[in-house]
Structure 1
């Protein structure tokens, strides 16, 4: 549980873990230099339950680096993130572990996904199946937040955890893990996400550069040699992402003016002619 200024919500988040029907857990809380009462609230729970450990960073690390910091203290087989303004249902942890144990070759799992009309959750996908599901069949896999994940700790550490990027570190990690490991897809109703002011998601939506960086990250993974998609499949997906990037750039010109538009074009690795071609032709 990573924490930064969540005094209004952290108690409920901790209590949701305490209410878990699965009892063999440790709750690692890492405060990222909060300037409210978040840390003292967390400490009060740690004094009552030895399974709760509270750590305070020497400096503010930011979202994904702090998630890596929290994982570095873990000792268990699996990592499960419950953000300090979210909740996990009482049976959530038990079911997540149960599903993962059915697929011992998987590297990670994701829950709260769109229902599959052909298969009942849980089921396991190979790297090729995962990439095809997301990019060819257009059934979202990689757009899940850390709250929806459960990760084999050894796999997380071996792959270096989250990249030190802001706003899309989760999607980037799912892309990276899914090139090498199988993923277990699980039903919803296991975790509960709260929408609050100051969340990274709210900040992300206010700047077109964030969408552009996310699209470019996906494009890099598609172009990489170890992407499991086949040649023709890659071509189709890359064309789609060039169109999306071009759309973001032209939207920046329209909504934010020439200066912002040129900034987005500079970030896009396309010149203006290529932007227009990819958007309209």
Structure 2
């Protein structure tokens, strides 16, 4: 019985040990993602692969060179990647390294709402027509492929500039995923509902159409009146204020931003990225 208890304890210890190591590596990769340090990791794997090949083939000159790289490599890494290492140590000191930064997602949500509200308010005052769709759970790949790829960080300056009249991208819809503008000049399905007011134009019908076939959120800025409209789940909210738009976006996007963003690889007109 004592031996079984020790064996069980050893198994649990090994599981905890492996889990901790895996978690630390995962957090390091997430921390380095999007920085030049991620290229360093690829280079390290290449060096290890070359060393193994040289060992198997007994390439002594190559082995000596790789061994020198291994000896002096850590010093070069510290010098070249000082900012990334300092950031990692700062996160460890703040305690955010071993915890999911929920505040970060809230900050991103606030930035998205601020960018959307600021841009729509600006365009509304100047009678600039706009059609903005925010992807949620329903995949909008078919509609994204009809547009021009942007894949840029969402900002009110970029969003406003897209809809400036007489520019190549102003006609059509902008599709947003999380905090990125994925594509512009996209075609959305038009609603055939007989209950839509005849005074509403193509943008409002497109906004209603996409809300009837997906859970996407869509904002419309009228070119004729400058009024802001909002659609979700087949419902149209017309002539809403800046505060109302902000509240609706926060209520509808809060659940989406409580989950990690989904990394998607859209097939642009049949071509893999």
User: TM over 0.5, yes or no?
Assistant: no
Structure with bigger gyration radius: 2
TM-score normalised by length of structure 1? 0.22
* Bigger helix share: 2
